[in-house]
Amino acid sequence: MALPKYCTPMERVGFIGFKVYCTAVLFFLVAPIIIIVPLSFNATPYFSFTEGMLTLDPSAYSLRWYQDMIDNPQWFNALKNSAYIAIAATIISTILGTIAALGLANRKMPFRNAVMALLISPMIVPVIISAAGMYFFYTRFGLSQTYLGIILAHAALGTPFVVITVTATLSGFDHSLVRAGASLGATPVYTFFNVTLPLIRPGVISGGLFAFGTSFDEVVVALFITGAEQRTVPRQMWSGIREQISPTILAVASILILMSVMLLLTLELLRRRNAKLRGLS
């Protein structure tokens, strides 16, 4: 964005300084994450840049750690477990969060603020406390160290994201459309799937993506609830750092970074689509 011609020299200096400051902050936040990607192509089993990598020697780069991620049964099973658990938890979170948001959108709902605070409490309470509580609760019902237990635990952590995003979408929803559907003889179920859901779909998908990312990256609850068969990628990374340090961790971390970037791009596309539907752009 260019400055107007009538800006004073001090205003121009301040604007340039502000841009430099923002660039420095962005570099400070992103550099520790981006540096993992080139390290994952290191041909040697070290967590540092070799002389060959710094001189861009092709022999210093390799895909061996990505191949090891596929060939190693522990890493491959962890990837399958994370994908299975995250997808199942996302489906549950999206359904429960959407239903809860629809109820909270009704201004006549009793104790509305209290229910909202209760639903988003997993985002506020430290994860270690939630993990300990889930461990003791699930152990009593025999759900600890089971796929069902970790799926339900991740669904509980992901539901608040769906509630918030769908509630924000419903804040600009025109409820006269629902009343119009009812006046024309449409059932509530038909009205929901053909009128309400298409309009709030960007919020539902955004909440589901947040829930998926939360489940796929969660490690604290996994340490408490999962067993050897349910080991997820974050727990495998944690175990790899503690037991046997391998650059395969860097390869897996690069895959997770790529997934996060794709998630952010998808959310931005959904935000723009939602803005167009509302006539804001």
Residue 193 class from Cβ within 10 Å (0-12 exposed, 13-18 middle, 19+ buried)? exposed
pLDDT confidence band for 277 (50 / 70 / 90): low
Is the C-alpha dihedral spanning 205, 208, 214, 215 positive or negative? negative
Residue 280, pLDDT above cutoff 60: no
Q: What is the 3-state secondary structure (H, E, C) of the chain?
A: CCCCCCCCHHHHHHHHHHHHHHHHHHHHHHHHHHCHHHHCCECCCCCCCCHHHHCCCHHHECCHHHHHHHHCHHHHHHHHHHHHHHHHHHHHHHHHHHHHHHHHCCCCCCCHHHHHHHHCHHHHCCHHHHHHHHHHHHHHCCCCCCHHHHHHHHHHHHHHHHHHHHHHHHCCCCCHHHHHHHHCCCCHHHHHHHHHHHHHHHHHHHHHHHHHHHHHHCCHHHHHHCCCCCCCHHHHHHHHHHHCCCCHHHHHHHHHHHHHHHHHHHHHHHHHHHHHHCCCC
Q: What is the pLDDT of residue 144?
A: 84
Q: What is the pLDDT of residue 241?
A: 74
CA angle 201, 84, 35 (to 5 degrees): 85
Token duo for residue 93:
């979170």
pLDDT tens for 203-245 read 888 888 889 988 888 888 888 888 878 888 888 888 777 766 7
Residue 92, pLDDT above cutoff 90: yes
Residue 252 class from Cβ within 10 Å (0-12 exposed, 13-18 middle, 19+ buried)? buried
Is the C-alpha dihedral spanning 255, 256, 260, 263 positive or negative? positive
| Mean model confidence pLDDT for the chain | 84
pLDDT tens for 118-156 read 888 888 888 888 888 888 888 888 888 889 999 999 999
pLDDT tens for 169-195 read 887 777 788 788 878 888 888 888 888
More confident position, 277 or 195:
195
More confident position, 161 or 184:
161
Cα separation of 206 and 198, whole Å?
14
Indicate the pTM of the whole model.
0.80
Cα separation of 70 and 248, whole Å?
10
Q: What is the pLDDT of residue 59?
A: 85
Q: Which residue, among 79, 83, 62, has the nearest Cα to 70 in the 3D structure? A: 79
Domains of the chain: 1-34 (no CATH), 73-246 (1.10.3720.10)
